[in-house]
């Protein structure tokens, strides 16, 4: 089994005439179709809203595209709030899910009318001290502790996570917030990351739905929405089966009918904060082979590096690699595909079987649409690449230019040392 790029070699050869490699390329058609499929999967819930996780792909052109698809934004910092505002998001189209939050960020979120999702019990007083009041609509992040299992498989370890309130804390939080004037409550939880299973969301939903019923019964709070957050993953490896969002949506609906409807809570809106699922497969990193090295191993050196895609270096994450134009050739050569950083972990692939790679070949590194460009950095003085959007009509739009040395040196603009660079 293999992964097929969403762009052809012929199209890439056109693109590189105007935009030098490396660059991130996004697939507008795929993004729109996926957003519509998510909406379809939860159409049974009248108040459903996807709040795209801005951290995954913080680009205003992407945010505007998703806004056209009916999405809001999930923000976790001041600059993400600012970008959302600039793109026309306002009020309850913005969810502010932050942690260890500075007061000025709470204040800015409140100014925008965003829904504030409190990560910790102590943030209740902190928020009131910052704003002088508690918003009428407020959300709390829940962490049940322990480990999260599907069948006998441990998916993640919420008890080891810095996020969220304990069970006892969230009940007390609802009571205090209600006494301080809150009228509409939300519950939020994120218990596992990048799950490639249709069971995660329905299990999470059932757990949160049961919590919501108990919170309403014990505190009298009006639970207006439940935020299932992120966690729906993508198949980075070609032998993985992708999630079926329609099956997931139906599983959540069954839990909703079993738990909330009998409790008289059939009007509760559902929210998601997906990033990887929304954008991951619809972006790729395009790079060119510029060197080959034959020592104790066989190396292909490309013009991209971990600055452009940090996940393999940081997590040992797998990203599939396609040598464009050689898709039908046998993968009979073993390579490490590497970048130029002065770090030995700057490797996109280790002991990867590929067709013979020649200098000048274009390589597509798959599934970089989320947490790809966004995690980039400037170690070794390397500069971040351009981001391009492959439009539905086949044209290409630059949605972020490549950095220049002037960008790298801009924070020295208070002195004359680098003014000529």
String of DSSP letters for 166-193: -HHHHHHHHHHHHHTT--EEEEE----S
pLDDT at residue 191 in the model: 85
| Peptide bond just before 22 cis, omega within 30 deg | yes
Do residues 53 and 78 lie in contact, with contact meaning Cβ atoms separated by under 8 Å?
A: no
DSSP character at residue 73 = E
Neighbours of 377 (CB within 10 A): 11
DSSP character at residue 385 = -
pLDDT at residue 162 in the model: 86
**Given the residues 69, 87, 342, 415, the one annotated as active site:** 342
Cα–Cα distance measured from residue 157 to residue 181, given in angstroms and rounded to the nearest whole number: 34
Q: Judge residue 204's burial from the number of C-beta atoms within 10 Å of its C-beta, 0-12 exposed, 13-18 middle, 19 or more buried.
A: buried
Do residues 204 and 156 lie in contact, with contact meaning Cβ atoms separated by under 8 Å?
A: no
Cα–Cα distance measured from residue 371 to residue 57, given in angstroms and rounded to the nearest whole number: 6
- Please state the domain extents for the chain: 28-279, 281-412
Query: Quick one: CA dihedral 346, 348, 354, 359, positive or negative?
Result: negative
The string of DSSP letters for 281-334 reads GGEEEEEEEEEEEESSSEEEEES--TTT--HHHHH-----EEETT-TTS---EE
- 305 as an active site residue: the answer is no
Alpha helices in 93-187 (DSSP H): 103-112, 123-131, 167-179
For the domain covering 28-279, report its CATH number: 3.20.20.10
pLDDT at residue 239 in the model: 94
Among residues 310, 410, 323, 413, the alpha carbon closest in space to that of 364 is found at: 323
On the question of a common fold for 28-279 and 281-412, the answer reads no
Answer yes or no: CATH 2.40.37.10 is held by domain 281-412: yes
- Going from the first residue of the chain to its last (421 residues), give the mean pLDDT of each consecutive group of 10, the final group possibly shorter: 92 98 98 98 98 98 98 98 98 96 98 97 97 98 80 62 92 98 96 90 96 97 97 95 97 98 98 97 98 98 98 95 97 98 97 98 98 96 97 98 96 91 86
Neighbours of 288 (CB within 10 A): 18
pLDDT at residue 151 in the model: 62
Query: Quick one: CA dihedral 378, 13, 61, 232, positive or negative?
Result: negative
pLDDT at residue 214 in the model: 98
pLDDT at residue 160 in the model: 75
Do residues 140 and 88 lie in contact, with contact meaning Cβ atoms separated by under 8 Å?
A: no
Cα–Cα distance measured from residue 33 to residue 310, given in angstroms and rounded to the nearest whole number: 27
Q: Which helix (H) or strand (E) holds 202?
A: helix 200-219
pLDDT at residue 193 in the model: 84
Residue positions counted in the chain: 421
């Amino acid at each position: 089994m293999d992964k097929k790029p969403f762009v052809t070699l012929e199209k890439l050869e056109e693109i590189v005439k105007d935009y030098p490699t490396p660059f991130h390329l996004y697939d507008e058609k795929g993004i729109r179709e996926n957003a519509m499929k998510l909406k379809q999967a939860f159409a049974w819930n009248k108040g459903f809203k996807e709040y795209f996780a801005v951290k995954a792909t913080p680009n205003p052109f992407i945010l505007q595209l998703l806004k056209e698809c009916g999405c809001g934004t999930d923000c976790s910092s001041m600059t993400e709030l600012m970008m959302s505002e600039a793109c026309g998001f306002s009020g309850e189209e913005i969810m502010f899910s932050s942690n260890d939050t500075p007061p000025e960020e709470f204040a800015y979120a409140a100014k925008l009318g965003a829904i504030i999702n409190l990560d910790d019990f102590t943030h209740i007083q902190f928020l009131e001290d910052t704003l002088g009041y508690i918003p009428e609509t407020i959300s709390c992040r829940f962490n049940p502790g322990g480990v999260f299992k599907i069948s006998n498989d441990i998916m993640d370890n919420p008890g080891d996570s810095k996020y969220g309130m304990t069970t006892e804390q969230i009940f007390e939080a609802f009571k205090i917030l209600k006494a301080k004037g809150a009228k509409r409550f939300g519950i939020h939880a994120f218990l596992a990351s990048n799950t490639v299973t249709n069971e995660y969301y329905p299990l999470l939903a059932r757990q949160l739905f049961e919590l919501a019923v108990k919170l309403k019964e014990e505190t009298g709070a009006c639970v207006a929405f439940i935020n299932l957050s992120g966690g729906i993953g993508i198949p980075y490896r070609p032998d993985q089966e992708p999630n079926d969002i329609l099956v997931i949506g139906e599983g959540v609906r069954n839990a909703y009918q079993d738990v909330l409807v009998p409790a008289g809570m059939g009007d509760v809106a559902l929210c998601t904060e997906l990033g990887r699922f929304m954008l991951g497969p619809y972006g790729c990193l395009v790079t060119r082979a510029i060197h080959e090295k034959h020592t104790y191993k066989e190396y292909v050196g490309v013009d991209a590096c971990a600055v452009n895609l940090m996940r393999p270096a940081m997590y040992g994450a797998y990203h599939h690699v396609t040598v464009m134009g050689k898709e039908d050739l046998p993968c009979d050569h073993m390579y490490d595909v590497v970048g130029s950083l002065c770090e030995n972990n700057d490797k996109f692939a280790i002991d990867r079987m590929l067709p013979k790679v020649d200098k000048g070949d274009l390589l597509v590194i798959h599934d970089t649409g989320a947490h790809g460009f966004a995690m980039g950095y400037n170690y070794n003085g390397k500069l971040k690449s351009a981001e391009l959007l492959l439009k539905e009509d086949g044209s290409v739009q630059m949605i972020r230019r490549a950095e220049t040395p002037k960008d790298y040196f801009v924070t020295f603009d208070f002195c004359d040392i680098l003014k000529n660079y």
